[in-house]
Amino acid sequence: MKSTMLKLLLSVVLLTALEANQKETMDIQQLQKELYELKKNINQIQSELEGNAKSGFQLAGYAAFDWADIQKDDNEFSGAKFAPIFHAQYGKLFQFEGELEFTTKSDGETNTELEYAAGTLFINDYMGLQIGKFMSPVGQFVQNLHPSWINKLPTTPVGFGHDGAAPTSNVGMSLRGGLPKVKGIRSNYATFISNAATFGTAADGDVVIDASGKTSSGNISKTWGGRLAVNPTGGMEVGFSSALGKVSETLTATTNVGATVGDTVARDYEVIGADFMFNINSLDLKAEFIQQTIGESQFSTLEGGIWKAWYAQMSYQLFSSNFEPVLRYSDYHNPEAKRNQWAVGLNYLFSNNLMAKIAYEYNSDEDKDAINSSINDNRVLAQLAFGF
C-alpha cells in the first residue's frame, strides 16, 4: 500500500513539474512572440521616421473671427484673421518655416504681415542655427502663445502687442535648442543677434519702441540676447530673458547740439524678462514680465525711459468638460501711459484646436489722452478660433 501511495505521489509531483515546465515554455514563447512584434513595430516606426523623400512641405496655421461690443460704441464684427504657416524641410538637416498674417482692416482693406520667415540648420541634437526673420526669443507670449487657438482670450495682454513693451520679432540669426537633462531636469535656450530696433514717434503721436524685425539696422550696432528656460517639474517652465544693444532714432527735432533733423542717432537699449508656465491636470497658469529701457540722447528731444508690462493668467477646464473659464490681469507702463486690464472669459472647446471664446474686458488707462478714448472703454468680446 505504501509503495502504491509513494508511486502515486511521485507521479503527481512529476506531472505537476511537467505541466509547470510546459507553462514556462509557453510563457517564454509568448514573450518571444511579443518581443518580435515590438521589434517589428519599432523597425516600422524607425523607417517612418527616416522617411523616403528628402524634401517636403506642410501647410498649417490658424484662423480667427471676432465680434466686439465696445462701451460707448456699436457692436460689430470686428475682425477676420487668416494666418497660414508653411513648413518645409530637407531631410533632418534643414527646416524652413514662415507665417503670413492676413487681417481685414476697418476700411475693408487687407493688411498683410510677414510674421516670420526663417530657416533652421540642425547642427546637432542640441542646437539649431536659425537665420532670417523670427519671433523674438525674449519672453514667452509673443513667440509661442499669440496664435488665436493657443491664446485663451480673444485679445493679447496689454503691452504684449505691437509697439508695446515686448519685442515682437528680429531679423538676424539665432542659436537655439534643448539641452541634455541635468539631474532629470530639462532645459532649453535661445540666443540671437539681430538688427537694431527703432525708436521714435508713431503716426498717432505716441513715442514707441518698434521692436519688430527689420532688414536695416541704420548703421547702428546689433542687438544681442537670449532666453534660458528650465523645467523644474514636467508641467512647469521658468524662463529668463535679456537683450542688449542700441536702438536707432531718426531725428524729427533736435536739441541743436550738433545733429540735424533727419540724422540717425543711436541710443542705449536694454531688455529684461521673466516668464512662468505651469500646467497640472486641467489647471493652466501663465505669467510674464518684460521691460525695455531706452537711454537718453543729447541730440534728441524725445526722452528715454522704461516700457514695462506684465500679466498673470489662470484657466481651468471644468470637471473635464468642454468649458474653460479664464481670468487674466495685465498691466502696462510707459513714460506716457499707465494702463491695466482685467479680462474674464469662458471658452467652449469643440475640440482641442477649435474653440469659441466670450470675454469681458475692463480697461483702465491713466493717460490723460486715453481717458476719453476707446482704449479706456470696457468691452464684450467673442471669438471663434481654429488651429490647423
Partner 1 sequence: MKKLLKLMGLTVFLLLSLSTSVMAKNEIKIDIANGALVWAETCMRCHNLRKPEDLNKRAWKYSMNHMRVRAGLTGQETRDVLAFILSAKTAEDEK
Write out the DSSP string of 215-268.
S--TTPPPEEEEEEEEESSTTEEEEEEEEEEEEEEE-SSB-SSS--TT-EEEEE
Residue 385 · residue 73 · CB < 8 Å: no
If binding means CB under 8 A, how many residues of this protein chain bind partner 1?
A: 62
319 burial level (CB within 10 Å; 0-12, 13-18, 19+): exposed
Q: CB 77: neighbour CB atoms within 10 A?
A: 11
- Residues numbered 129-188 forming contacts with partner 1, rule: CB under 8 A: 129-130, 143-145, 149-150, 175-180, 187-188
- Residues numbered 333-372 forming contacts with partner 1, rule: CB under 8 A: 349, 352-353
Which C-beta is closer to partner 1: that of 37 or that of 366? 37
User: By CB under 8 A, is residue 189 in contact with partner 1?
Assistant: yes
How far is the C-alpha of 244 from the C-alpha of 267, rounded, in Å?
11
Which one of residues 20, 42, 114, 202 is an interface residue with partner 1 (CB under 8 A)?
Answer: 42
Q: Widest CA span of the chain, in angstroms?
A: 128
Residue 61 gets the label, from left (phi > 0), alpha (psi -120 to 50) or beta, of left
Q: How far is the CB of 198 from partner 1 (least distance, A)?
A: 18
Which C-beta is closer to partner 1: that of 146 or that of 379? 146
How far is the C-alpha of 88 from the C-alpha of 345, rounded, in Å?
36
Residue 313 · residue 287 · CB < 8 Å: yes
In the stretch 6-35, what mask flags binding to partner 1 with x, by CB under 8 A? ------------------------------
307 bridge partner residues: 292
User: By CB under 8 A, is residue 288 in contact with partner 1?
Assistant: no
- Residues numbered 95-124 forming contacts with partner 1, rule: CB under 8 A: 95, 97, 120, 122-124
Which one of residues 58, 111, 298, 372 is an interface residue with partner 1 (CB under 8 A)?
Answer: 58
User: By CB under 8 A, is residue 242 in contact with partner 1?
Assistant: no
Q: How far is the CB of 58 from partner 1 (least distance, A)?
A: 4
Under the rule (CB under 8 A), what is the footprint of partner 1? 41-42, 45-46, 48-49, 51, 56-58, 60, 85, 87-89, 92, 95, 97, 120, 122-130, 143-145, 149-150, 175-180, 187-191, 193, 221-222, 224, 229, 231, 234-237, 277-279, 284, 349, 352-353, 387
